[in-house]
Amino acid sequence: MREMGRTDFLPYRAVIVDFDRTLLRTDKSISAFTAGTLLDLKRSGVRLFAATARPERAITEYCERIPFDAVTTLNGARTITQDGVFDHPIRRDSAESILEQLHRAEGTVISVEAEDGPYANTDIPIWSPTVMADLRKLPGEKKIYKILASHPAIPADGIRINLPDDTYSSVAERKLLQIMSGSATKWNGVLKMLESFGIGADRAIYFGDDNDDLEPIRRCGCGVAVSNALDCVREAADYIAKSNDEDGVALFLAGIPAAGNG
């Protein structure tokens, strides 16, 4: 891994950014410098993509400010490109099994990202979910893209359930267990976005900080971790940028010559 010397960097055609703790500052803002840097790149012909754990409704304000060419949301469960929307919900019987197990663990806060918005077994003010004491019937009524769980006395990686073979889990921000379809990964979403514009992964830069960013950081032409990233992400990255609160993404990009779409 090298630090910030980048004069030998290959030209790139796509910039892909994670949102929380990567592009966004801790207060969830985007600085004028960061927005301006990304807009300058877009005007030069570079494609801008976002890959986030957030649902579409939670990125609207950022997409209005920075017109991304494509986005993959919900850890890859839904990807929106110029060619259409590609979604990967959790299979109904798998979702039912997961929710049944989580409901047995007393005190677990359970939330679900469904096709029509969030549901939870208790109120979560920042998400404004539809509150249902029992979420187990939901898979029979809605597409389920993501199931999340946390517990006040158990770390996220200590919440034990037997996952169906067609699903996987990851831990977000060290505190939230996320469960998705096995095909709903950020990397699969990244590939779909790149394919839509005829760009090879070797011509893309990916910026991230968390477990779900590991695969794209390893497999894109250049993987960049912000300095506040998890240790495992920083170890996997080609470069380390400054932290999200220091506009690390924009500072890194400002030092690399872009190739545009030629």
Pair (46, 173) in one structural domain:
no
Asked if residue 1 belongs to a domain, the reply is no
Pair (97, 81) in one structural domain:
no
Residues near 5 by Cβ (< 8 Å), separated by ≥ 6? none
Pair (99, 172) in one structural domain:
yes
Asked if residue 260 belongs to a domain, the reply is no
- Residue 154 confidence (pLDDT): 86
**Are 124 and 109 contacting, i.e. CB atoms less than 8 angstroms apart?**
yes
Residues near 179 by Cβ (< 8 Å), separated by ≥ 6? 90, 98, 146, 147, 148, 149, 163, 167, 168, 169
Question: What is the domain extent for residue 55?
Answer: 14-87+185-253
Pair (131, 173) in one structural domain:
yes
**Residue that terminates a domain, selected from 120, 150, 181:** 181
Asked if residue 214 belongs to a domain, the reply is yes
Pair (96, 175) in one structural domain:
yes
Per-residue pLDDT tens, the chain, 262 aa: give them. Answer: 444 434 344 478 999 999 999 999 999 999 999 999 999 999 999 999 999 999 999 999 999 999 999 999 999 999 999 999 999 999 999 999 999 999 988 899 999 999 999 999 999 988 899 999 999 999 999 999 999 999 988 888 888 889 999 999 988 877 889 999 999 999 999 999 999 999 999 999 999 999 999 999 999 999 999 999 999 999 999 999 999 999 999 999 988 644 444 4
pLDDT in tens, 96-109: 999 999 998 889 99
Q: Which two tokens stand for residue 32?
A: 């004028």
Asked if residue 3 belongs to a domain, the reply is no
Asked if residue 45 belongs to a domain, the reply is yes
Give the DSSP H or E segment for 80.
strand 78-81
Give the global pTM.
0.89
pLDDT in tens, 132-156: 999 999 999 999 999 999 998 888 8
Q: What is the CATH number of the domain that holds 82?
A: 3.40.50.1000
Pair (75, 191) in one structural domain:
yes
Pair (217, 242) in one structural domain:
yes
Pair (100, 173) in one structural domain:
yes
**Residue that terminates a domain, selected from 132, 147, 181:** 181
Pair (22, 83) in one structural domain:
yes
Instruction: Please state the domain count of the chain.
Output: 2
**Residue that terminates a domain, selected from 181, 208, 233:** 181
Biggest CA pair distance of the chain: 57
**Are 255 and 4 contacting, i.e. CB atoms less than 8 angstroms apart?**
yes
Asked if residue 102 belongs to a domain, the reply is yes
Pair (104, 167) in one structural domain:
yes
Q: What is the CATH number of the domain that holds 137?
A: 3.30.1240.10
The single-letter code of the amino acid at 162 is N
